Structure 1
Amino acid sequence: MACMSVLTRDEAQNRAQLLDVHRYAIELDLTTGDDTFDSRTLIRFTVLADQDDTDTFVEVKPAELRSVTLDGHPLDPETLDGNRLPLKNLTPGEHELHIDAAMHYSRTGEGMHRFTDPADGETYTYTQLFLDDVQRVFAAFDQPDLKAVFDLTVTAPRTWTVLANGITEHLGDGRWKAATTPLISTYLVAVAAGPWHSVRTEHRGLPFGLHCRRSLAPHLDADADELLDVTRACFDRYHEKFTQPYPFDSYDQAFVPEFNAGAMENPGLVTFRDEFVFRSAVTDTQRQTRAMVIAHEMAHMWFG
């Protein structure tokens, strides 16, 4: 297989002129083993008329690419070149692309990270898709200006809770469905699944939540009032400063293990390194830094 290709500016501009991407329907199954999970993606998109080039590609980095169909016609999975699956001779109008793949879990924070807590043996998974690691979780036209709405369904072990960009509903038998997102970029889709310890409340009619692994529950509970006070104060201040209301249906903050960044501004589901759940006495400066990070990530809900 060829080396992974990096999307160039020219390629992104050309693809944006060719495509209007409408909707992703994504089904993830996190019950298939410790090394891989199943990922099935339906992408609905339109090829715009009067384009000179009707060839393009979708990005995916699978452990195994099982099948691909375009408008009901099978495509050869063997045409996958690195992380690019070519789509050739596209006609103007609407199209449906179905991709069924197995994907690798990550142990270094890219894509779908999987962690087993040595304290109690519980396992957690969560996504980190910035910059271009959505391709490790589901197939996508992976560039920020090709925004779409996302419908997400996740099958997880029955003792787990699944968090996502929007409010999630447990359908039974470990299946969870997230509310359809507004238009967002591919790298901002977020999932966090595991036997989370959660502290939940409401503010301005919206559900707010704090989440961490169970072994850190006493430490999160000790700081929950402070964390929620900071969150509510920032939320109210941004509504004073900006003319647009908060555009999502909930606000969850998940403190996740082995995070390879400080925090990530996923809409409706901000992820933080769980070192911010303090295990011992800390300085005022450390608490101020944590509050600053909470404020910073929330600001992203309105811009950037």
Structure 2
Amino acid sequence: MTKFYPAAYQANKGSALDVNRDFYQKIADATDKRELVQSIHVPIRTGQAWTVPAGHVFRIVAKEGAQVGDLNMWNLHNPRERMWASRTRQLQGAHVSTYDRLWSNLPFLRPIATITADSLADYGVDEHGGRVHDLLGTRCDPYVNKLLTGEDFDFHCHSNLTRAIMPYGLTEFDVHDVLNVFQCTGLNSDDMYFMKACPAKKGDYLEFFAEIDLLCAISTCPGGDLSVHLWGPEAEDPLKVCRPLGIEIYKVNESLLEGWEQPKSPDYKGNHGMPFPRWEDHPDAKKACR
């Protein structure tokens, strides 16, 4: 019999992992108390960046059917703070859904967005162990394509995201590991990453509450719905299975935000085990005092 172990990271009462589900459910349910402030069309095989004020909601929508989107997030005012896929994977899960939070990197480490609604929440685990909205894999990129095929191919999520964020003063070095929205993935019996055809249908969505002012970017994956092989002897151009995505940004009625405040970073005041240098111990200290 397989023995199941509990998650390594457990939530204490009142910790940032102890999510106030009632608050986020209220945000999700009160669609009559939100105002659409921006709607964005993201064509196939492109990238798009947008900003979301703290306390607003944004929704990623499968506008015409199955399509994977690779999502990045940054602190709008300090892009050194950005979504940390691996820590989110540890704290929340390798696949995320309603009430899960996306966490930022060190030394910031705070939830920067919380999922409020997921039309694919009932997908669960399929017969192959596949689940949706994964943090297991990362974006496709032209470098691994060159490595695997020996060919230059420009249609990749890494490239789309790079182009999308350039107007905001960011570069390829700012693109980071992604949340694969609508993507179905898992680990096979050889502990290898697999991808399945996207189960999203027209109108499906994943919705987020912005905990801080965000800069977001998404790529409409050039692999489309991932229903065709991208590498190996059966590989083919997936252009025929590529579809656009939509982004909807909503302003939430202030009455729904009562009691909410932006998350704070942990107030770690240590020095990573290093002693604080004292000026009086510096060999030039006495010379400077003469």
TM range (shorter): under 0.3
> Does 1 or 2 have the higher relative contact order (CA < 8 Å, sep 6+)?
2
TM-score for both structures, normalised by structure 1: 0.27
Larger proportion of strand: 1
